Amino acid sequence: MALPKPRTRVYVDGLNFYCAAFRRSRFERFKWLDVSAFCSAALPRNDVELVRYFTARLDPSRGRAGQRARQDAYLLALRSLPGLAIHYGQFVEHPKLHWLVSPPPRGPRRALVWVPEEKGSDVNLASHLLVDGSTGGYDVAVVVSNDADLLEPVRLVREVLGLPVGVLKVQGGQRACVFAKQADFVRTVRRSHFAASQLPDVIENEGTRIQKPPEW
């Protein structure tokens, strides 16, 4: 008899994953991603019961209206997926002095610029990871991130709750995995996982027709 697959919950750090997959690994053509199918494809030996996706809505000001529209369409599409929950942090902006890449021969060498930062997503992820584990929500947890801020909650789940934690790492999209010495396993997701897990170009959800952004 085949052994039952362990009940698994996946915790996706949306911004960290986006940067790893669609900027550094250049999988841009696969942005219209079915995250639930993607996690199941990457974890064939696990029963992925729930995917928690942590993100923050972009501020549409300062030339980001198009990005916000595409993000809204994608988040609405994700809400159509069974077994996926979206948790929101927030984006905040602060003025900061930064060095100019090519400063003029005369004049200031630094400029005051607006720097957007995502707040709350790592805390939200850590909180759900710990609460789900302590209430019997999973046999195995999997984190999709390479954020060192999550090392401590992963350690607590493993050492205090006695539950295994794995990590999904994007091929070519991250520096050395910060969880390599702490996670129970690290699995690399590749182009084939992205290609096999795309949403339909058109989705009907909540009475709305959602279409894949033409830029994607």
Which CATH number goes with the domain that contains 68? 3.40.50.1010
How long, in residues, is the chain? 216
Specify if 23 maps to a domain.
yes
Q: How many Cα atoms within 13 Å fall on the side-chain side of residue 30?
A: 24
Query: Rounded to two decimals, what is the model's pTM?
Result: 0.89
pLDDT of residue 12: 98
Domain count, the chain: 1
pLDDT of residue 43: 98
Tokens of 150: 């999550």
Helix spans in the chain (H): 14-18, 35-42, 65-78, 121-134, 151-159, 191-195
Specify if 115 maps to a domain.
no
Specify if 157 maps to a domain.
yes
Q: Which domain holds residue 183?
A: 7-89+120-211
pLDDT of residue 123: 95
User: Tens of pLDDT along the chain (216 residues)?
Assistant: 677 999 999 999 999 999 999 988 889 999 999 999 999 999 999 999 999 999 999 887 777 899 999 999 999 999 999 999 999 998 777 678 888 888 888 888 888 776 667 788 999 999 999 999 999 999 999 999 999 999 999 999 999 999 999 999 998 766 789 998 999 999 999 999 999 999 999 998 778 899 999 999
pLDDT of residue 1: 66
Specify if 164 maps to a domain.
yes
Specify if 44 maps to a domain.
yes
Helix spans in 43-187 (H): 65-78, 121-134, 151-159
pLDDT of residue 116: 64
CA-wise closest residue to 156 among 182, 177, 121? 182
Specify if 95 maps to a domain.
no
Specify if 28 maps to a domain.
yes
